[in-house]
Amino acid sequence: MTTEDPREYWDKKAATFASGERGRRSGRSRALYEESCWRYIEPVLPPIKGSLILETGCGTGRWVYRLAPMGYQVVLSDLSTEMIRHASERVKKRGMSDQVTAYHALDICDMHPLSDEGFDLVLALGVPLTLCSDPRRAVEECYRVTRPGGHVVCDASNRFRTALDLARENDLTQLAGVLDTGRITRQTGLTQHHFMPQELASLFQAKGMEILHLAAVCPFFEFPTTKEHVSILDDEETFKTVQDVFRRYSEDPNVIALSSRLLIVAQKKP
């Protein structure tokens, strides 16, 4: 197994993200994921006038395409220079350039070019905490750039579900390691950190932030979504049923423990 530099790895992936191919392969599971997150983002959106939102770990951009048309000013940040380049091109093509105030190729663990308390809302979705080198430092940076009274919304991979998936796949070599430490090395050679639900909450509580929600994202699905799940979601009634189940059970502690992805909403004290 060769270890690849994370920046180089994501630079190579950028063109695929920008092409929309991943979205096409995921079908309506993408809509389920976005709806699962948006229902927690929407209630903490700041007033539009004068507010600034950071989408960190943005890839080629996801939430900016909802937020910019609403009138928000957005800053986009990602580890990968190529992701940021493609994000800039896509924003321009959609006529949203006036709403994006800056683009930064930054590690979420070190966002020093961004000023202290500069953002009303920080979105760290797409599991940048899982993919980064130091989750504790990443949370500290998200806290630093958030204004008093502002919010951070992020998702991360769940170590219990990861362990279950490893056992189901008969891949037991890393089972104990991921349960004990949350760390797992993927075939790419990149190391990830997967969290216990309370562990994720504790990272934010250690900074004195209030946890408003700890939830499951698409709790019974895998990431990436299996072909079978992608296929069954084409049926409208099935889609609505699954959507309803996700909404009703997303904050059940037993369901959270089984979810591939965890989502947290934290508020910085005013």
Domain span holding position 98: 6-159+194-267
Write down the mean pLDDT value for the chain. Answer: 94
Residue linked to tokens 């709806």: 35
At residue 237, what is the residue type?
A: E
Overall domain count for the chain? 1
Q: Give the confidence band of 224 by pLDDT, cuts at 50, 70, 90.
A: confident
| 240 inside domain | yes
| 21 inside domain | yes
Burial 255-268 (b: 16+ CB within 10 A, else e): bbbebbbbbbbbbb
Q: Where is pLDDT greater, at 217 or 187?
A: 217
| 168 inside domain | no
- pLDDT at 192 (0 to 100): 96
| 171 inside domain | no
| 172 inside domain | no
Residues 6+ apart with CB under 8 A from 17: 59, 60, 83, 86
Q: 3-class DSSP state for residue 191?
A: strand
CA dihedral 207, 83, 182, 227 (to 10 degrees): 130
- pLDDT at 1 (0 to 100): 46
**pLDDT, tens only, 60-114:** 999 999 999 999 999 999 999 999 999 999 999 999 999 999 999 999 999 999 9
| 143 inside domain | yes
CATH of the domain at 139: 3.40.50.150
